[in-house]
């Protein structure tokens, strides 16, 4: 059952090593340009990551479709799949087809209204779309999601390693999402698997690291996908759902760098989960990761599986057309988020601010050029005792959000909460919700190579442009607020919407 190969999906897509992040900024207008029609022909091959089309497809609303899934061969097991399941799939697929059609209609409606500018004034929530790539399409898609999206969580596995995640600190989004879906109150929880649009693999990476990994070994950046893989083996043997879609309607969510742990898992957790003993040669795995032919080991498993990750590093194989970028948010104990207005723009006298540890290469470069060196761009490793972090963000115009150990930074959400325009310093970072939000309208992006020019770049932004971005920040931040229970358009709904979009791209083949 459990095959102890050490493939990493991050190495499967060498040709996806592109700077999607900056692509998204420059080409955002093209997003939504090719909306679904129910044309069964498959324009994109899932595996042809070398083609232009495939590489840029994340910025299309529905980049690929069911017929792209290679035909499932008739195996004895598949023939045995009960008819009921097929009927259920058929029902769900019909619903999704209607959703696609209505989203497409909204887009056309939008185009029509754009032509008639006079009518642009009274559209409420989606009034002028500037913080959205396409407000109408998004709004309609969100509505369809509320109507039809149902998540079935597999019941296998015991808490706290499964079904539980941290509700606080910087990986909090993992636990908050799990809890929201599993506490039985969410409108998105499916009552039965037959009703499910997507299937959730409820592996809690943070807790595994806390309870299993930390006590035994020192922290090393190994790979952890085997736990997910074994869980999938388990459920794909027990139920027909994984096999029928090859995982394209299954997802997994983790804010921690989930790839960092296979070794411990196989030594300590695998035996607990399965009652089998791990293979003795396991430590050799780390060598395999560097093998050039690693992608040949198990390319199938993660090909379609949706991974929702904070570490949305396109250079490490994060594939935006299939994977979901999660915002990182630092939730303090007892408070879900601290949205405050900060100072109004005219009182923000401080040009730019950052305070944070020297984690990772990007911070190192930042400190080299800016640490306590400039009176307008204030950069601290240790914030002076006389300063209050939140208050500094509240009175800065721009807040620097450099990558840390990983591309994501909780500072992006903190800046939005403070009404401070985020300056995202990262390469290859696929921003959260970048399939619907027009990040360019409320944030600044600086590639790592331009760190020395931070001040020049920020100073070149006109007051008018700044004011526009600041308004964008205030407008967009509702999408970054965590509510429990979740409310429409808040962060948890946005995450579900990201998963929903990826599910909309796939049609499960009927029998
Ligand atoms: C499925 O069947 C086709 C043709 O019958 C064959 O070419 C292909 O190799 C099969 N795929 C798998 C994974 O068995
Ligand atoms: C799959 O099964 C159907 C009917 O059972 C048969 O007509 C078809 O040829 C089979 N396809 C393959 C690739 O075996
Ligand atoms: C614009 O609005 C008016 C009334 O508010 C309506 O009669 C008209 O059909 C609208 N035009 C378009 C193109 O939606
Ligand atoms: C968007 O709406 C705001 C007010 O809601 C307005 O100030 C701004 O100029 C509008 N932007 C565009 C591009 O129409
Ligand atoms: C799913 O496919 C795997 C591998 O091909 C197989 O071992 C398993 O039995 C299948 N599951 C079901 C429920 O048919
Ligand atoms: C910093 O300021 C915020 C609000 O302005 C306040 O809630 C917080 O307690 C302050 N923190 C410290 C350490 O003083
Ligand atoms: C993103 O991935 C690339 C390739 O593995 C790596 O070099 C880079 O350091 C990563 N970025 C961050 C911030 O970890």
What's the pLDDT tens digit per position in 436-489? 999 999 999 999 999 999 999 999 999 999 999 999 999 999 999 999 999 999
Residue-level pLDDT at 134: 83
| Enclosing H/E stretch for 379 | strand 377-380
The answer, yes or no, to whether residue 9 has pLDDT greater than 60, is: no
Question: Which atom of ligand 5 has the smallest separation from the CA of 238?
Answer: 13
Question: Which atom of ligand 7 has the smallest separation from the CA of 428?
Answer: 1
Token readout for 218 is 């020192």
The answer, yes or no, to whether residue 258 has pLDDT greater than 50, is: no
Under the banding of pLDDT at 50, 70 and 90, the label for residue 118 is low
Q: Which residue has the higher pLDDT, 350 or 65?
A: 350
Residue-level pLDDT at 223: 41
Enumerate the H helices of 306-398 as residue ranges: 360-370, 389-395
Give the N- to C-terminal CA distance of the chain in Å, as an integer.
25
Query: Residue whose CA is closest, atom 11 of ligand 5?
Result: 237
For residue 35, give every residue at least 6 positions away whose Cβ sits within 8 Å of its Cβ, in sequence order, or none.
61, 62, 103, 104, 107, 137
Judge contact between 417 and 425, C-beta under 8 A: no
Among the listed residues 443, 434, 433, 437, the one whose alpha carbon sits nearest the alpha carbon of residue 493: 433
Under the banding of pLDDT at 50, 70 and 90, the label for residue 279 is very low
Mean pLDDT on 193-219: 74
* Cα 73 to ligand 1 centroid, rounded to whole Å: 6
For residue 243, give every residue at least 6 positions away whose Cβ sits within 8 Å of its Cβ, in sequence order, or none.
72, 77, 78, 236
Q: How many CA atoms lie within 13 A of 336 on its CB side?
A: 14
For the stretch 337-385, pLDDT in tens is: 778 889 999 999 999 999 999 988 999 999 999 999 999 999 999 999 9
CA 467, chain centre distance (Å): 28
Q: Which residue has the higher pLDDT, 268 or 208?
A: 208
pTM: predicted TM-score of the whole model, two decimal places: 0.74
- Closest ligand to C-alpha of residue 235 is 5
Of 337, 339, 386, 391, the one to substitute when testing ligand 6's pocket (max ligand atoms within 8 A of C-beta) is: 391
- Region(s) of the chain under CATH 3.40.50.2000: 345-480
- Among 31-45, 335-349, 492-506, the range scoring the smallest mean pLDDT is 31-45
For residue 212, give every residue at least 6 positions away whose Cβ sits within 8 Å of its Cβ, in sequence order, or none.
161, 264, 265, 268, 269
> Above pLDDT 90, what percent of the chain?
44
Question: Which atom of ligand 3 has the smallest separation from the CA of 116?
Answer: 13
Residues lining ligand 6, judged by CB closer than 6 Å? 388, 390-391
User: What is the Cα–Cα distance from 320 to 475, expressed in whole angstroms?
Assistant: 25
- Closest ligand to C-alpha of residue 388 is 6
Q: What angle do CA 133, 152, 85 make, to 5 degrees?
A: 110
Of 116, 120, 124, the one to substitute when testing ligand 3's pocket (max ligand atoms within 8 A of C-beta) is: 116
Q: What is the DSSP string of 249-318?
A: TEEEEESS-TTS-HHHIIIIIHHHHHSPPPPTTGGGHHHHHT-TTGGGTSTTTTTS-EEEES--BGGGT-
For the stretch 380-410, pLDDT in tens is: 999 999 999 999 999 999 999 999 888 999 9
- Among 1-10, 148-157, 262-271, 456-465, the range scoring the smallest mean pLDDT is 1-10
Mean pLDDT on 128-141: 81
What backbone phi and psi angles, to 5 degrees, belong to 204? -100, 90
Is omega for the bond preceding 160 within 30 degrees of 0, making it cis? yes
Question: Which atom of ligand 2 has the smallest separation from the CA of 74?
Answer: 1
Under the banding of pLDDT at 50, 70 and 90, the label for residue 114 is confident
| Enclosing H/E stretch for 108 | helix 83-115
Is omega for the bond preceding 485 within 30 degrees of 0, making it cis? yes
Helix (H, G, I), strand (E, B) or coil at 168: coil
User: What is the Cα–Cα distance from 415 to 430, expressed in whole angstroms?
Assistant: 18
- What proportions of the chain, in percent to the nearest 5, are helix, strand and coil? 45, 10, 45
- Closest ligand to C-alpha of residue 341 is 6
User: What is the Cα–Cα distance from 314 to 58, expressed in whole angstroms?
Assistant: 12
| Enclosing H/E stretch for 399 | strand 396-402
Residue-level pLDDT at 299: 55
Mean pLDDT of the chain: 74
Q: Which residue has the higher pLDDT, 166 or 443?
A: 443
Whether domain 345-480 has CATH 3.40.50.2000: yes
Residue-level pLDDT at 110: 76
Which residue in the block uniquely carries the two structure tokens 């969580």?
Answer: 153
Mean pLDDT on 31-60: 29
Residue 183: CB within 6 Å of ligand 4?
Answer: no
Helix (H, G, I), strand (E, B) or coil at 167: coil
Q: Which residue has the higher pLDDT, 365 or 114?
A: 365
Under the banding of pLDDT at 50, 70 and 90, the label for residue 319 is confident
Query: Residue whose CA is closest, atom 9 of ligand 4?
Result: 468
Under the banding of pLDDT at 50, 70 and 90, the label for residue 113 is confident
Residue-level pLDDT at 28: 35
The answer, yes or no, to whether residue 65 has pLDDT greater than 70, is: no
Residue 358: CB within 6 Å of ligand 4?
Answer: no
């Amino acid at each position: 059952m459990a095959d102890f190969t050490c493939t990493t999906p991050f190495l499967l897509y060498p040709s996806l090593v592109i700077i999607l992040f900056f692509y998204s900024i420059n080409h955002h207008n093209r997003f939504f340009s090719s909306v679904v029609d129910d044309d069964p022909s498959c324009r994109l091959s899932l595996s042809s990551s070398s083609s232009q089309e495939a590489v840029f497809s994340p910025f299309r609303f529905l980049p690929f479709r069911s017929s792209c899934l290679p035909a499932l061969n008739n195996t004895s097991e598949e023939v045995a799949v009960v008819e009921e399941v097929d009927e259920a799939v058929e029902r769900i697929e019909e619903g999704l087809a209607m959703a696609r059609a209505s989203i497409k209609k909204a887009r056309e409606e939008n185009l029509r209204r754009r032509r008639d500018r006079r009518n642009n004034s009274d559209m409420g929530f989606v009034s002028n779309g500037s913080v959205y790539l396409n407000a109408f399409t998004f709004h309609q898609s969100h509505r369809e999601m509320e109507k039809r999206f149902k998540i079935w969580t597999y019941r296998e596995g015991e808490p706290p390693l499964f079904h539980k995640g941290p509700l606080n600190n910087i990986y909090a989004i993992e636990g908050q999402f799990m809890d929201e879906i599993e506490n039985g109150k969410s409108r998105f929880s499916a009552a039965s698997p037959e009703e499910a649009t997507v299937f959730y693999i409820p592996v809690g990476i943070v807790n595994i690291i806390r309870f299993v990994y930390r006590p035994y070994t020192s922290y090393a950046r190994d790979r952890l996908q085997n736990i997910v893989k074994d869980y999938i083996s388990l459920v794909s043997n027990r139920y027909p759902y994984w096999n029928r879609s090859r995982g394209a309607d299954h997802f997994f969510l983790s804010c921690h760098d989930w790839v960092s742990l296979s070794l411990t898992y196989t030594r300590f957790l695998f035996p607990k989960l399965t009652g089998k003993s791990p293979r003795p040669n396991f430590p050799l795995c780390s060598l395999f990761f560097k093998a050039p032919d690693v992608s040949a080991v198990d390319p199938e498993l993660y090909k379609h599986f949706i991974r929702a990750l904070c570490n949305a590093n396109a250079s490490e194989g994060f594939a935006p057309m299939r994977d979901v970028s999660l915002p990182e948010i630092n939730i303090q104990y007892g408070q879900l988020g601290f949205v405050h207005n900060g100072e109004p723009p005219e009182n923000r006298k401080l040009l730019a601010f950052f305070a944070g540890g020297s984690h990772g290469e990007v911070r190192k470069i930042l400190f080299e050029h800016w640490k306590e060196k400039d009176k307008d761009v204030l950069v601290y490793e240790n914030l002076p005792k006389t300063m209050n972090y939140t208050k500094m963000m509240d009175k800065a115009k721009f807040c620097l959000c450099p990558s840390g150990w990983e591309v994501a930074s909780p500072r992006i959400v903190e800046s939005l909460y403070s009404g401070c325009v985020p300056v995202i310093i990262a390469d290859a970072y696929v921003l959260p919700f970048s399939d619907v939000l027009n990040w360019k309208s409320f944030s600044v992006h600086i590639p790592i190579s331009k760190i020395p020019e931070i001040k020049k770049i920020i100073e070149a932004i006109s007051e008018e442009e700044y004011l526009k971005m600041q308004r964008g920040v205030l407008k967009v931040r509702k999408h970054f607020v965590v509510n429990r229970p979740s409310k429409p358009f808040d962060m948890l709904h946005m995450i579900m919407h990201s998963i929903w979009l990826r599910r909309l791209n796939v049609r499960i083949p009927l029998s």
